[in-house]
Structure 1
Amino acid sequence: MSYLYVLILIVPALATALAFLPNSHWSIRSLDFPRVQIAVLCLASLILAALNPPALAGSVLMVIVVNLVALIYQLYKIYPYTRLAKKEVLSNHAPDDDRTLSLLSSNVLTPNRRSDALIALVNQYQPDLLLTLETDQWWQDALHSLETDYPYRVAIPLDNLYGMHLYSRLPLKNTEVLYRVEDDIPSIRSQVILRSGDTIRIYCLHPTPPSPTESETSKPRDAELLLVGKQIRELDETALVFGDLNDVAWSPSTRLFKKVSELLDARIGRGMFNTFHAHYRFLRWPLDHIFQSAEFQIKHMAKLPDIGSDHFPIYAKFQYCPAQEDLHEVETADAEEMAQADEKIAEGHEEVK
């Protein structure tokens, strides 16, 4: 029986330990994603051991202690993304004005045909910016009815699951479609002119995930995120970054991106907003992100209803408050972390050669 307890307890503890390895292979980096699930398994295993106490052989006792440490560590990592933590981005409850900006981001899943569900959400929330991911020519045609209300558009219909469409009610300028790391993975870089006349830089991203069917390692994804982060830091502009980043908020790579870019995450202190996987309740984590510079305060943020995709859409409304940016505490990368970012960018480019 002691061997059975060791087996039950060792699985979540081992998953926790393996995620510490500085290895970019998908089998290791994928363990960054299910921290909530691993924490639940840790807790369930410990409860089982408490309800049915095993003979406390040395190996069993050691594994119980290790599992308890793993549980505490997992809770520590996910705590910032609960409502118990301090909010990183200030709330703004003032009436909407010409410095208010809203956006909706949705990975639609290319074979999904529920365009009506997405259009209904767009009509309900009336976002200023709409980003659709995995959109091919069929989806471009299906969303044609939105074009009257969204006269400014960037269309990249692709059949490789990395198509991207940006719809805007507000004028866009200096728009670029960039293939930063991989030749078939696009991103959008543009500027949005608010109703007040202020100009905001936006970055729309959908890098490849580390997985057996996509990319063997996380290097291309990490390189794209950090390239954008460095550019934001160097330009020192007000910026929004949004899209399906195929990474979770608490992973080392996203944390490094956040420090390099000096952007904020409105989810901290508000909840995880788990957007993937829409079909499996126990297998959910936050893959779709919206990061903003310190000039923004948050008015509303929501995970939206199922549209037939494997991702839920995500919506946010911001207030541009440049005079109050100093009210936010911004994390910044030190020299060692900047060197680490440069190394990861070089590794990502080398990976796809």
Structure 2
Amino acid sequence: MLKIIITSLLLSSVLSTSKPTIGILTNPSDLKDYDKSLYSYFPSSYVKWIEQAGARVIPIHWDSSYDEITVILNSINGVLFTGGDVDLYLNNTQPGFTFNKFTDTASFIFQKVIQFNKSGKFYPLLGICQGFQLINYIASSYYEVLTRMTDDLGKQRLLEIVPDEDSFVLKSIDTITLDYLKNIDGPYYSHNWGVIQQTYEKAYSLGAFFKIIAYSRDGIDLKYVAICEAREFPIYGYQFHPEKHQFEWITKATHDVQHIKYSQQLAMDFISMAKKNDNTISDEELAKLIIYNYQQINRMDKPNTSFSQVYLFERQRNETKSDQQQLGIYYNIKFFRKHH
């Protein structure tokens, strides 16, 4: 189905845009000096990574209403879920469901992206690191997908590629660069948790929705998923950080030619996909929403930080019981559950 969608859109000059705009989902703040009850954020490196590939960025606030988010999704051309340090799991310990608003906002966006693609509008969604874990969690119907990793904070690991001629991710990386990442020096990882192949086997809906494109191994040789992509939709994820090789200078990510090249290739491929839908936003509306309206904070003087700069956002609203009652979590679970 994905190849059919891609082919049909490539043949059409109407369903495309030359000025793509990407929505980046904000994270509740895990910065020690900016409390999450008051602030959200994402690293500036993701904005730079998107912009150097030829697109603009609009933040999607994780605590916005569904109506507000829908308006933005109808105007942009793709969505990015970034890295971070958020507790993703829904809290099911109390009678009924009490909800993790951040995860449910991501679930709502995930479901809308599926709906767009089913209706014929090519609409990519990319998750990086925490964002990778988030899309795996959602596609699993909220199975506890994460496994503890050992010694993968600030490490570069070789990729173990699963041969797949139909993989749109692999097609975006040239063979010389791919050989380098497989055999010489792999992508940069900064994570304590990962998703292993056995989880794909246990959580039926996860393996039914995504296919595994590549693996890496942690410090004790535990094999985990490094790249996944959806079987029918342009939804995919990287457990590693392509953006850090170009735009983060206080981490151990190398800045050699091959890593810069693969980073650029992945960014360009994402934006090329975003150009394949015809969503547009007026100049006036873009001026109100674009990332330049927000404060960028220097973090280089902070100890134990991974980010040179972050964009900081004041919280839009607080979670309410009314919000929680409208989250639609049951619909999402029903959508991904195996039907016997």
The alignment's TM-score, normalised by the length of structure 2, stands at: 0.29
Q: For the pair shown, which has the larger CA radius of gyration, 1 or 2?
A: 1
